[in-house]
Amino acid sequence: MKSKRNILCAFSLMMSLGMAAQTQFDAERLIGTELNGTARFVGMGGAMGALGGDLSVMGTNPAGIGIYRSNDFAVSFGANNSSNEATFNSTMLKDDKTRFSFDQVGFVYSNKIGNNTSLRYVNFGFNYKKNKNFNRQFVAGGNPQGLSQTWQMVNTLQNCFDTYGMNSDTWANEVDAIYNSKNPYMDNTQYPYLGVMGVRTDLVGVSSKTNLPIGWNSDLNKFTSREEGGISEYDFNVSFNIEDRYYLGITLGAYDVNYKKFSYYTEDIFDDNGNQGYYELTNWFKTKGSGVDLKLGFIARPFEDSPFRVGLAIHTPTWYNLSDYHYADITSNIAYMNNGVLGNPEGVEEYSPDYTNNGDIRIDYQLVTPWKFNFSMGTTVSNILAIGAEYEYSDYSAAKLKYDDGADMEIANYAISEDLKGVSTLRLGLEAKIVPEFSLRAGYNLSTAAFSDKAYKTLNWNDTRTDTDFNNTKDKNTFTFGLGYRGNTFYADLAYKYDYYKSDFYAFDNVDLPATKVTNSRNQLLLTLGAKF
């Protein structure tokens, strides 16, 4: 872990001043999908790629829409509850949030070509669904046993000073210049915003012995965050039924990204003489943008007299054009630079929009997600039982972040290749008719972890970002149950989904900081109302 940090630091020294602020954690947030859509699809764990016949399959295997022989319209909505328990050095904190959501609306227009032609149906479909739900509240904290975020502030500055070839005397002069500058954020020399804010609130000082920047010690911290928004997916599909045995489909996917995060971090800090103080760092961050991809699908019924089907789908990368907006505020009660003591009664505040024309810092960039491959199988038994299984793979380490002009973000992409992994997803589902009108459903998903165990988020030597927290998620398990009613035209489905996964959370980057062990869960109740005609 330490050696990789050194490689990244050395790598960063070779880069130009046009450094972007995106990380592997920003990329991972937008890669992949959550299990969502119609209640029937969710109730069967999404394992319908080979079975088809549901609006949501146009987002996994587009050929599944070719199964339709009638028109279909459906709308879905429900409620989500996200909760977490975070344990840090024996301190455990909990939080949860419940929200209502509009999850899906779509239709299929089924166009019969003939009974005796090879091409039997050409179907057209559209489906909107909530691809990802970011709504989440989180709280963690405890005793970091002397470790402090202020030393990450120091490190970002020291990397910057090393880049400019400054000696220790120059470091002291530069820290003083940053402290007294009218606007050190927008000067010709690009300093890291976190380090600058640390200097100007006395969280970063200079050692009288070495003239090197120094931070403080901490005996209590607390982190809270609130995330909102999601990724909306709009799928446009055309599919073909050939001889009722082979099905082809293509889906054009359009994506709308809307992500917001508010985070608050505070530390009680002390010096070697036992003097006490504190500071608070607040960050506002949001991502907006759009993307597009293409999905190709195929389903075959290999045995003419058997309902057994196999399916294959390939999803191209999603090409995103994105914009990040962020700003920050730090307050502290420290007066190090003026008189070398803690406990400044007047306090000090640094608010970044005061120096950036009273606006957010905006960075435009691109993200290219990895290819995705999906293999599925499904069958029915006596028109009473339907069984489906899917395996999906996507190599997250192949994702690419690019500047607005298309040039690669080399440092961010190195971190992606080192810290992200290939992700496998297994989906299983079944549906059983208890009477002709009513069905019971159940499903299970397992998605492997996207992050390596030693993944961490670093801030570059001229970074404008000041949010230091990151979360390494582990394998995710999803359990689903459902109930369905089918009339002559009208139908209604109800589904329950339970997501469960663990993660390691870090409020800031320090090789000695122990992970906050987090248990995450989400409960979703989903209702679909529809008609086939």
Question: Each residue of 459-498: pLDDT tens digit?
Answer: 887 789 999 999 999 999 999 999 999 999 999 999 999 9
Give the model's pLDDT for residue 188: 57
CATH code for the domain of 453: 2.40.160.60
Q: What is the DSSP string of 214-267?
A: E--EEEEEEEEEEEEEEEEEEEEEEEEEETTTEEEEEEEEEEEEEEEEEEEEEE
Task: List Cβ neighbours of 250 (8 Å cut-off, separation of 6 or more).
Answer: 62, 237, 238, 239, 294, 295, 296, 297
Give the model's pLDDT for residue 358: 66
Q: Rounded to the nearest 10 degrees, what angle do helices 2-13 and 410-419 cross at?
A: 160
The Cα 148–Cα 154 span in angstroms is: 10
The Cα 93–Cα 85 span in angstroms is: 6
Q: Which residues pair with 93 in a beta bridge?
A: 86
507 CA to centre of own chain: 17
User: Residue 220 corresponds to which tokens in the numbers above?
Assistant: 């209590």
Count structural domains, the chain. Answer: 1
Question: Each residue of 392-402: pLDDT tens digit?
Answer: 999 999 999 99
Residue 149 has pLDDT above 80, yes or no: yes
Helix/strand number for the chain, H first, E second = 8, 23
User: Residue 226 corresponds to which tokens in the numbers above?
Assistant: 């609130």
Q: What are phi and psi of 162, to 5 degrees?
A: -60, -35
Q: What is the DSSP letter of 467?
A: -
Of the candidates 306, 476, 295, the one whose C-alpha atom is nearest the C-alpha of residue 377 is: 306
Confidence of residue 50 (pLDDT cuts 50, 70, 90): very high
Residue 507 has pLDDT above 60, yes or no: yes
Question: Each residue of 181-220: pLDDT tens digit?
Answer: 888 887 656 788 999 999 999 898 887 777 788 889 999 9
Q: What is the DSSP string of 339-406?
A: HSEE--TT-EEEEGGGGTTTS-EEEEEEEEPPPEEEEEEEEEETTTEEEEEEEEEEEGGG-EEEETTS
Question: Each residue of 15-39: pLDDT tens digit?
Answer: 434 455 799 999 999 998 999 999 9
The Cα 249–Cα 496 span in angstroms is: 29
Tell me how crowded residue 531 is: count the other CB atoms within 10 A of its CB.
Answer: 15
Q: What is the DSSP string of 44-98?
A: TTT--TTT--SGGGGGT-GGGGGG--S-EEEEEEEEEEEEEEEEETTEEEEEEEE
Q: What 3-state DSSP class applies to 327?
A: strand
Of the candidates 517, 518, 508, 526, the one whose C-alpha atom is nearest the C-alpha of residue 136 is: 518
Residue 171 has pLDDT above 60, yes or no: yes
Of the candidates 283, 284, 279, the one whose C-alpha atom is nearest the C-alpha of residue 331 is: 279
Domain that holds residue 404: 2-532
Q: Which residues pair with 300 in a beta bridge?
A: 246, 310
